[in-house]
Structure 1
Amino acid sequence: MTLPAPPVSSPRLIAIVPAAGIGARAAPAEPAAAGERPLPKQYRNVAGRPMLRRAVSALLADPRIDRVLVAVSAGDPWVEAALAGLPRVAWLECGGATRADTVANALARCGAAAEDWILVHDAARPGLPLPVLGALIDTCLRDEVGGLVALPVADTIKADGPAEPGPPRVARTVPRDGLWQAQTPQMFRASVLARALAHARVRGLAVTDEAGAVEALGLAPCLVPGSLLNFKVTWPQDFDLMEKLIHD
């Protein structure tokens, strides 16, 4: 059901964490038993706690965030235990076919006013440092469009060519000047984000993050320097790396 807006003054800061996927690229730690659903990567432990819980806790570290809403798939059997005891947290069974659909569904049901700020954060980024989150909020509150956490690209970037037998081959080197690697959170006014996601859906745009949808409206989100600690746990070996970086 739609969550009623609490009786507080606007604009508020509301975080949405899409967590309806299964993380197919991160192979499960153990195969599921016959008849059981495989454990999605966001519920696997990182340093003794579910990765989703760590990602949500990172958002709660800034008291300016009014609440965190976790968007999960229907009948999710793990979310209640993963988030037990966390304040200012609720979950919605509103997962969609894509990340954009999941975020749009959560946004429609969260009770946000048009001028409220929405921060969307990946469930697979448990290492978000509080100073990075604070810098994003400080910057966006003064900005007309909003923005995202990102890192300047440091490596040489290669683009491959058409698929051929054998290994992929380099077609060209892409100049890295001015390139940024998008991270999350990404922060926009509720009205702007809703309009951007609706526009992308109508146009059939395959946006992979909220900033991409906002850019498709002709707007230019601002870039806030992120952190290497805020990398997205994607591949099996990423769990080992994150374990080494998180010590609490």
Structure 2
Amino acid sequence: MRTAVLLSLLLASAYEVSAVENTAPFLAWSPQEFSVSQGLNAQVISVQDLSRGVYDLVDCSHKAILVVDELELHASDLGRKGREGLKNQVQGAESSLQIPFVDGGVDLEGLAHRLSQKCQASFVDVNEAGDIVDTLQGPSVIYKKLTSESVQQNDNTLESLVKEIRERFQDSFLVLYSSSQTKEFPTKHRLVARQQPGEPAPAPTKQSGVFHNYVFFSQGIFMGLLIAVVLVPVAMVGIFWNLGVQQPQRFEKKQN
């Protein structure tokens, strides 16, 4: 029984391919309440299911829908230093949705166009035109692409844009945040041999196999294994010791 319990905890901590490559997180939040369908309550989801779910999620009750595209965004980047602004916005919202792993990049610009057609709202690309939020009159779908390599700058840009939208439309807005271009991770650290001057560099060999394409050991998995390997056995020993305590079968004889 001990082996079965420990094995189940180890399998649970593995988090079902939680840090795979070619995935991007999806975040949605709003100062107003919104309902989330059962299909979006998942840790891993395909791009097709996400697009259908988000299309149904938007009920066109918001005056502004902000679609933010941060290139090469991965779920592991959300916990990095400098993400306090994004974290505070999501946690401080009345309603929010967080999907860590979307299998592939999300066509956010195309999604923004479809949402503008569904809600009969104007499509605004703030990448081509600068400060135009103040000039918006009716329902609008705003598309913004974040291309800076500094997460702090991306957070500041997002915070400024959300502030302008809040001043223009009060709390009647919805933010959709993801990435259309997934992050590429180095598959292997290569050692390059010394070369003679003028000698051409060797052609890089293409790495294949599941261990080159997926990351199976992350910070979350390490913490889960640490809890399972150290704390769980200690707790199980204490529990079984307590269960092994038996009541006395007879009374001791009186001593004269």
- Provide TM-score, normalisation by structure 1: 0.25
> RCO (CA 8 Å, sep 6+): is it higher in 1 or 2?
2
Higher strand share: 1
Q: Which protein is bigger by CA-based radius of gyration?
A: 2
